[in-house]
Amino acid sequence: MVEFEIVKGDITRFPAEAIVNAANRYLEHGGGVAYAIAKAAAGDPREYIRISKEAMREQIGRGYIEHGEVVVTPAMRLEKHGIRYVIHTVGPYCGGIWDGDKKEKLRKAILGALRKAEELGVKTIAFPAVSAGIYGCPLEEVVKTFKEAVEEFRKEARGVERVYLVLYSEGDYERALRVV
């Protein structure tokens, strides 16, 4: 059984075996949670961008990822929190607009990371609210899509036991808890 838990915290120090990065398709890690993870992992965010792009070339074979495709990089300095891997996924850009297409792209982005966690053999995985920041998707819809994606994943999960959705601000956390 896969448990889904909404928590408040900073994902760069969240003790899950894998954490997910809300990346852009080029893994540039220029702002938001991506920049925070890159800086915390490598010290110099530019170094983590270099590592991510190299990993993308090796794992995907090109210089960008589509929704549902993910890239794995080592946790480096995040290992002191028990984190072993960073899984980069790309959610949809909404700019305030939400529709079926955005939802499908987000569902793919979440499931791609969950399936990679299975492949990596980890028991715990933590996500930020992918697309609910700079990409401007409504937080409530993002949380709802997380719940549905985890529900879908339950049917195929073998090793993953716990999925965390980590909200950074108190306000977002309160709003996320109210989503049914």
Binding site for ligand ADP (CB under 6 A): 10-12, 22, 32-34, 36, 91, 128-135, 166, 168-169, 172
Nearest-approach distance from CB 98 to ligand ADP, in angstroms: 13
The nearer residue to ligand ADP, 13 or 159, going by C-beta atoms, is 13
Nearest-approach distance from CB 92 to ligand ADP, in angstroms: 9
| CB 89 within 8 Å of CB 109 | yes
Q: CA 68, CA 65: separation in Å to the nearest integer?
A: 8
Q: CA 33, CA 51: separation in Å to the nearest integer?
A: 17
Nearest-approach distance from CB 124 to ligand ADP, in angstroms: 16
Sheet holding 85-90, edge to edge: 3-8, 162-167, 124-127, 18-23, 85-90, 71-74
The nearer residue to ligand ADP, 95 or 121, going by C-beta atoms, is 95
Nearest-approach distance from CB 9 to ligand ADP, in angstroms: 7
**What kind and span of H or E run contains 3?**
strand 3-8
The nearer residue to ligand ADP, 74 or 136, going by C-beta atoms, is 136
